[in-house]
Amino acid sequence: MEPRNNTPISEFFLLGFSEATELQLLIFGLFLSMYLITVLGNLLIILAIISDSHLHTPMYFFLSILSIVDICFTSTSIPKMLVNLQMQSKAISYTGCITQMWFLLLFAGLDDFLLAVMAYDRFVAIYHPLHYTVIMSPQLCVLMVLVSSIISTLHALLQSLMVLRLSFCTDLEIPHFICELNQVVHLACSDTFLNDVVIYFAAVLLAVGPLTGILYSYSKIVSSIRAVSSAQGRHKAFSTCASHLSVVSLFYCTCIGVYLCSAITHNSQSTATASVMYTVVTPMLNPFIYSLRNKDIKSALKRLFVSKSRKVPIVLRVNK
């Protein structure tokens, strides 16, 4: 039987990416820039959707929720990392680590489910265009987001409670810049078999389930697009889901890449670097993908900035 240490754990240590002091400033500037771009980009998407009545549709409702989740997802991890870099500290409290883990699991799960819900929305829009407004009612949209939130919350709560039952010994160094679930579990000096079972079982359900729904939706979308006679009609139908398909590919490819990296190399530093792709880079790129490939979003952003610029001279004249 492995030795157990019942001494209360006060803090963990996030090792981050590099021990070299000269690289800390570069890493700080890089992650601060990516965080600001992520927050500002997603805020612009949300403002554009709120301000333009033409975008008050199920598709853009889900997109606004996805943007909020992306902001929350990055805000859960990056600010703490930036504070640690600035203060030359690697410590995170035990409570803070468990809390961060809970939020990371919550928002990652929400990202996963929202992508599946958005795929279903595109499937209904292309496969049942005449009944779209009836099927995708406001009540159904809110219900799908609510159910996704409840499932993600329960999953995050289950995993966090499973970690709370573990006891830790002297090795409290996490070779990561966040309190990632697997990394924390592997630090425990007590039996983690039940934790591993729950982690892998939940991963299968929460990853394969939504991915199956996405693949089914797009298989129906492709068959429907192929049935369209004109090339212009096929292009218009495909353009409505091109942005979402790009985000889905980016999200799942990075997640699979992180999993393969950790399974093949067993190098914690490589895993932490790969994790940056889905925790930082993907939320940062989502606004660019949707704004650059979506005419409605670009038009809404133009109208938003034009209306703001027109109001400035009026305010100045009043002040004079």
Domain ranges within the chain, ordered by starting residue = 11-315
* DSSP result, 28-74: HHHHHHHHHHHHHHHHHHHHHHHH-GGG-SHHHHHHHHHHHHHHHHH
β 173-174/91-93 pair status: unpaired
Cα separation, 67 vs 222, whole angstroms = 26
Residue 129: per-residue pLDDT:
86
Compute mean pLDDT per 10 residues along the chain, 320 residues long, and list them: 54 77 82 94 93 90 94 93 86 92 95 93 89 94 96 96 89 85 88 91 87 90 78 70 81 73 60 76 86 78 74 49
Chain segment 238-287, per-residue pLDDT in tens: 776 777 788 888 888 777 766 666 656 556 666 677 778 778 888 998 88
| Alpha carbon distance 21, 244 (integer Å) | 40
Rounded CA-CA distance 112/273 in Å is 21
Determine the pLDDT at residue 226. Answer: 80
3-state secondary structure of 136: coil
Question: H or E element: which one contains 174?
Answer: strand 173-174
pLDDT at 320: 44
The answer to whether 181 touches 105, Cβ cutoff 8 Å, is yes
Distance (Å, rounded) from C-alpha 224 to C-alpha 121? 14
Residue 17's closest CA among 85, 83, 76? Answer: 85
Instruction: Report pLDDT for 128.
Output: 87
Q: What number does CATH give the domain 11-315? A: 1.20.1070.10
